[in-house]
Amino acid sequence: MKPAVTYELLHVDKNSGARRGIVHTPHGDIQTPVFMPVGTQATVKSMTPEELKEVGSQIILSNTYHLYLRPGQDIVKEAGGLHKFMKWDRPILTDSGGFQVFSLGPLRKITEEGVEFKSHLDGSKHFFSPESVMKTEEDLGADIIMAFDECVEYPASYEYTKQSMERTTRWAKRCKEAHKTENQALFGIIQGGFYEDLRAQSAKDLIELDLPGYAIGGISVGEPKEEFLKMLYYTAPLMPENKPRYLMGVGTPDYLIEAALAGIDMCDCVLPTRIARNGTAMTWNGKVVVRNATYERDFGPLDPECDCYTCRNYTRAYIRHLIKANEILGVRLLSIHNINFLTKLMEKVRIEIENDNLLKFRDEFYKKYGYTKE
């Protein structure tokens, strides 16, 4: 039987490991590499589905942990699944809730069976197992669903990281056995912290399960950039060439470009809408903290090189006023711009891969943006 989600490789940049491809899903094709906006609670904060389509978003994420707690998977299922519930007819990916559960710290207890945790909303007790998470994700109805894993903090000891990685593999096997929905694709998550031998073992064991896609989890969790790059460039080549490769939780422009160079197809992050709420815009000439006083009388667009709705219609001075006045429109306009920026960045990345030019593009972009390579 053909998997619900498949990967088609179109071109490999001859000067790097960057891949240009297409991920085929039940709700449409995804041109890769791609940035995926995060809609934690079945909404990308402050943006409508129509606005997401206008900026070119191809796929969005939602969060199993948050939707399980509120409104509850039964309500989403009764509504016809996430696509109908949130009026989004393009692909959706749901994470497993593992990262959120493990970030609860003292509010959770891990056993081989699963994780007992207290809700951050009201303190009520809940239990996630690989089997229960599969049921929740099936009820939510996303095209791509993630296996339940444990994401260890940075830094973590070799012994604990090894135990955690092995448990993640066992949980992935249980997820595969429990997952029954044919129009969904279950992706495994490679763990192993910042130990190369553990990453290699995790990748080997998970690939043996022959899942339709794989992710790298547990990096971009607060480590130095050089550590991130070392583990990214080590792990990505271990992943199957004929399946989607997903790097979890990455959304700064430099990390997105590095991910593409390493051969990653998909990335996600809450960053563009989160920094919008802080009054910050990403532009082709670096960050603009529009809430700063320097923009009080700046009647130019956020980014002269951008053609998004925000930049076509509004000035830095006006957006600064909205942010300082805590007006919702300010956050909306910055969110539209930031997601548009990352979407257009990835469009450029795809073109540069086709032209075997991504390394040169990275160096030029870093110079303009003020990034370093480490």
Cβ–Cβ < 8 Å for 56, 347:
yes
Rounded alpha-carbon distances, angstroms, from residue 176 to 63, 183, 230, 256: 20, 14, 30, 29
For residue 95, indicate whether it is catalytic.
yes
Nearest by Cα to 227 from 257, 195, 197, 198: 195
- d(CA 273, CA 326) in angstroms, rounded, equals 15
H/E element, 311 = helix 309-313
CA 151, CA 18: separation in Å to the nearest integer?
26
**Helix 130-140 vs helix 158-178: crossing angle, to nearest 10:** 50
Side chain identity, residue 225: K
Taking the C-alpha atoms of residue 179 and residue 200, their distance in angstroms, rounded to an integer, is 25
Q: Are 212 and 186 in contact (CB under 8 A)?
A: yes
- The residue annotated as part of the active site, out of 143, 254, 268, 303, is 268
Q: Which of 13, 95, 139, 143 is labelled catalytic?
A: 95
Catalytic site positions = 95, 268
